[in-house]
Amino acid sequence: MGILGKGSDQTGWGRMRICRDLGLFTLAALAAFFSGACSSEGSSAPAATMEGSFAGKSFTPSSAAAFALLPSGEPNADALAIAIAEHGDLCSDVAASVSRPGGGLAIFLVRVDAGASRGKPLPVGTYPLGALTAVGGFHIRAILQGHYDDATCSATLSTTEGTATKGSITLTSSSAAGVAGTFTATFPSGTLTGTFNTSLCASTIPNFLSCSP
């Protein structure tokens, strides 16, 4: 089954787990195994809300962005990445290979059996975190991780502190233009709820982001 397949721990998923265990499970780390992005249609302003905290950290989102990803070497899989950040403009920052200090969330919805629908919008529905969930005829795994970086963009939280163990991601709208939905997440310390409504960025996520205050 390859990446995130049923009972599978092969290639991409195994390597992503290593990245997560090393505290590197970020958009840039995931992009090391994925390539490509869908072009944005329209110019709706990115938006997100968030309530609660994780590991004693909280922030007010200023930007959100979504990216459609295609896994290298996995012709039957694709993924949707949704990023929410405290500072900056995510689409512009990613295009410029820039990372900024402060808080952020990374949401990943990885479809393991896309088939002919590879690269097309994911179906609307609710995806429990961590579970391989059947929705709309596909199997999709949802992951949510929070991070809070210092002035040099170095992580201040461990992977365990930043990874949600329970909760769900709900897509209420999903198209080639963008996505909207809600999330709930329980961390080892703290809970979050929130919303997102953003267009897809045309930029491909780079493997390396330089820090910019």
Q: Kindly indicate the confidence band of residue 8, based on its pLDDT and cuts at 50, 70 and 90.
A: very low
Low-confidence winner among 23-27, 82-86, 113-117, 172-176 (lowest mean pLDDT): 23-27
Higher pLDDT among residues 19 and 83, named by residue:
83
Question: Is the pLDDT reported for residue 151 higher than 60?
Answer: yes
Residues 15-56 pLDDT 10s: 333 233 223 334 444 444 343 333 333 334 448 999 999 999
pLDDT at 18: 27
pLDDT at 142: 95
3-state secondary structure of 108: strand
What distance in Å separates the CA atoms of residue 149 and residue 212, rounded to the nearest whole number?
Answer: 12
pLDDT at 22: 28
Question: Is the pLDDT reported for residue 99 higher than 60?
Answer: yes
| pTM reported for the whole predicted model | 0.78
Question: Is the pLDDT reported for residue 182 higher than 50?
Answer: yes
What distance in Å separates the CA atoms of residue 91 and residue 77, rounded to the nearest whole number?
Answer: 24
Are 53 and 190 within 8 A, CB to CB?
A: yes
